[in-house]
Homo-oligomer: A and B are copies of this chain.
Amino acid sequence: MKGNVLKGHLEMLVLSVLARQPRHGYAIIEDLRVWSDDAFELPEGTLYPVLHRLEKSGLISGSWDDVDGRRRKSYALTDGGHAALDEQRRSWHEFSVAVESVIGGVPWPSR
């Protein structure tokens, strides 16, 4: 398993939300909160830098809307974003399986 899989699953979560439909920042926070049953309550100071990072690396693309005189920036997955999400999901699955193997009370196989 390459890279730093022990942290940083947040990007995957954000990409997952945006994979369903384009959303703007506040809505992403809300979606994560609802879909995770209140487990994830991101502060804005956490989310926005992530969005900027993802946009900069080309995984999402943002566009400004104007809704009732309020400006919003909506983000959508790019093709690269879909690919990255696929990869990150695979990686997450490996990670969680590995964690379960280690913490599961299962006594060491073979033997």
Contact = CB atoms under 8 A, between A and B. Distances in A.
Main secondary structure of the interface of A (DSSP, over half): helix
Nearest to A19: B106
Contacts of A108: 19, 34-35
B9 A6 contact: yes
Interface in A4-33: 6-10, 12-13, 16-17, 19-20, 32
A67 interface: no
A110 to B, nearest CB: 7
A36 B102 contact: yes
A92 B103 contact: yes
Contact of A39 (B92, B95, B110): B95
